[in-house]
Amino acid sequence: MNPVSLRSRGFFVTAGPTGGKIAMEYQDKEYYKIEGGVCLSGRVRVSGAKNAVLPMLAAVTLTRAECIIHHVPSLRDVQVMTQILRLLGVKVEMVEAGLNGGLTLVTQADSLTTHVIKDNLSRQMRSSIFLMGPLLGRLGEVRIAYPGGCAIGPRPIDLHLRGLAAMGARITEKHGYILAQAARLHGADIHLDFPSVGATENLIMAAATAEGVTTLRNVAKEPEIVDLQNFLSGMGVRIRGAGTDTIRVEGVGRLGGTEHTVIPDRIEAGTFMASAAFSGGEVRVENVVPEHVESISAKLREAGVTVQEGRNWISVKGPRKLKAVDVKTLPYPGFPTDMLPQMMAIMTTADGSSIITETIFEQRFSQAEELRRMGANIRIEGRTAVVKGVPGLTGAEVEASDLRSGAALVLAGLVAEGTSCVEGVYHIDRGYENLEGKLRGLGAAITREKMQGAANRLDSGQLD
């Protein structure tokens, strides 16, 4: 059955988490309707960091004591992680309007009921892999469906598994599952082939209760790693070095609870900074750690944008026309891969040609085809995109294939002439809290619409 006939029946076909095809119901399919040509202005407050809170939610399984996490963003990925925790037997209470905006979560993992992570949930979200380290430490075993790839690349987990094996875990992989077992993990000296964010976080959590000292080398230095270290230290974990190349963890037998406020989301902040730069408006982005977005501020200044920094805010004023600049993504503190799609979008109408190089993931250019539908001139050569500035974009029907490409398409819709429809809003909901509400607060003409369609769901067997 081809996608056209499915579409006529109110379904659309999209890539499943394991590379297969799944039919999503139109009624699941919301889209953003955007009237372009608006100069954004005003103030916007950044939510808590998705990529900081997800490993913390895994870390709460390390202790029987109560943990309180403030400034948690209301996101689909947080909901999925919360569901996974509850199925493991963790009590999770969600309290609205926490101390610093966002949600406050109260968790208690005093009696875990299983070591198995539900397939349908672990397949929805790669971050479930973060549970391997803590559950191995707490229960001595964990079973998880292989998380598989997604729109931005195959996303292997070999660094996670090799590190856990070095700490004494027996790993078996069959029928798409991974089973890891260890009576008690022991300390190890581990050098990561690549400064993987997830592997760094997983291995830190595995080392928290391992016997002896673990030294992790060539680790990721992202701010989210530092935030996780602070969270774990609050629980009594003896850890130091986050933010540098080497982290040292001394395992302890029993951990306590903690209360923690999540850092602001630097990628959400960068996305709003880019929206102001692109629309030629003036926006003050609040609840930001300027140091965390230094590479983004520097790149925007190079493109002719006025960027002023306060203690916890950044003011961005876009020029009439951006200068084309070259971008190369690198591990932190380099330019973040999660801002590449947004940077590509704002370069589409810049003065000159921009060379954008992705060094972290294999397929970070899915938005290029969609931006071309809006009139962009983009040529892809392997992991490099050449974006030749055009006079302007025109509104079109476009589709997001992942979280950040979706954000990029929204930015393009904000400045394109006429109306744009950005489909695949469920991708954007994974990592942006109330994006349309925050953009409307800056003057954008954006609404969330529902596509009417069939009420049932085809199983994958009916798809060719």
Pairing of strands 246-250, 91-95: unpaired
Q: Does 427 bind ligand EPZ (CB under 6 A)?
A: no
Closest CB 207 distance from ligand EPZ, rounded Å: 16
Q: Does 227 bind ligand EPZ (CB under 6 A)?
A: no
Closer of 38 and 407 to ligand EPZ (Cβ): 407
Q: How far is CA 342 from the centre of its chain?
A: 14
Closest CB 11 distance from ligand EPZ, rounded Å: 26
Ranges within 191-210 binding ligand EPZ (CB under 6 A): 194, 196-199
**Alpha helix ranges (H) inside 106-196:** 119-124, 132-139, 158-166
> Could you say which DSSP state residue 150 is in?
B
Near ligand EPZ by CB under 6 A: residue from 19, 20, 42, 153:
153
Ranges within 99-138 binding ligand EPZ (CB under 6 A): 126-127
Residue nearest to ligand EPZ (CB): 198
| CA distances from residue 83 to 91, 225, 409 in whole angstroms, order as listed | 10, 23, 30
Other beta carbons within 10 Å of 182 = 21
CB 322 within 8 A of CB 350: yes
Long-range CB contacts (within 8 A, 24+) of 19-26? 19/148, 19/149, 20/460, 21/460, 21/463, 22/460, 22/463, 23/457, 23/458, 23/460, 23/462, 23/463, 24/426, 24/457, 25/453, 25/454, 25/455, 25/456, 25/457, 26/451, 26/452, 26/453, 26/454
- Contact letters for ligand EPZ, residues 35-64 (x by CB under 6 A): ---------------xx--x----------
DSSP labels for 196-212?
Answer: -HHHHHHHHHHHTTSBS
Closest CB 125 distance from ligand EPZ, rounded Å: 8
Closer of 158 and 189 to ligand EPZ (Cβ): 158
Ranges within 283-342 binding ligand EPZ (CB under 6 A): 337-338
Q: Does 225 bind ligand EPZ (CB under 6 A)?
A: no
Q: How far is CA 275 from the centre of its chain?
A: 18
Closer of 396 and 428 to ligand EPZ (Cβ): 428
Closer of 123 and 404 to ligand EPZ (Cβ): 404
Select from 108-116, 156-164, 249-257, 299-307 the region that touches ligand EPZ (CB under 6 A). 156-164
Select from 29-37, 114-122, 150-158, 205-213 the region that touches ligand EPZ (CB under 6 A). 150-158
Select from 28-36, 157-165, 180-188, 342-350 the region that touches ligand EPZ (CB under 6 A). 157-165
Q: Which strand (E) or helix (H) includes residue 259?
A: strand 258-261
Near ligand EPZ by CB under 6 A: residue from 156, 176, 310, 437:
156
CB 453 within 8 A of CB 29: yes
Closer of 290 and 431 to ligand EPZ (Cβ): 431
Q: Does 270 bind ligand EPZ (CB under 6 A)?
A: no
CB 221 within 8 A of CB 331: yes
Q: Does 158 bind ligand EPZ (CB under 6 A)?
A: yes
Q: How far is CA 328 from the centre of its chain?
A: 19
Closer of 40 and 400 to ligand EPZ (Cβ): 400
Q: Does 261 bind ligand EPZ (CB under 6 A)?
A: no
Q: What CA–CA distance (Å, rounded) separates 312 from 286?
A: 6
* 155 burial type by CB count under 10 A (0-12 exposed, 13-18 middle, 19+ buried): middle
Q: What CA–CA distance (Å, rounded) separates 74 from 268?
A: 13
Closer of 284 and 364 to ligand EPZ (Cβ): 364
Q: What CA–CA distance (Å, rounded) separates 349 from 371?
A: 11
Closest CB 439 distance from ligand EPZ, rounded Å: 18
CB 455 within 8 A of CB 25: yes
* 252 burial type by CB count under 10 A (0-12 exposed, 13-18 middle, 19+ buried): middle
By annotation, the residues acting in catalysis are 150
Closer of 11 and 32 to ligand EPZ (Cβ): 32
CA atoms within 13 A on the CB side of 81: 30
Closest CB 346 distance from ligand EPZ, rounded Å: 18
Written as one letter, the residue type at 282 is: E
Ranges within 338-367 binding ligand EPZ (CB under 6 A): 338, 360-361
How large is the C-alpha radius of gyration of the chain? 22
Near ligand EPZ by CB under 6 A: residue from 155, 301, 321, 383:
155
Q: Does 273 bind ligand EPZ (CB under 6 A)?
A: no
Near ligand EPZ by CB under 6 A: residue from 29, 115, 266, 404:
404
Select from 151-159, 180-188, 282-290, 367-375 the region that touches ligand EPZ (CB under 6 A). 151-159
Closer of 161 and 376 to ligand EPZ (Cβ): 161
> Could you say which DSSP state residue 48 is in?
B
Closest CB 70 distance from ligand EPZ, rounded Å: 19
Footprint on this chain of ligand EPZ (rule: CB under 6 A): 50-51, 54, 126-127, 153, 155-160, 194, 196-199, 220, 337-338, 360-361, 403-404, 431
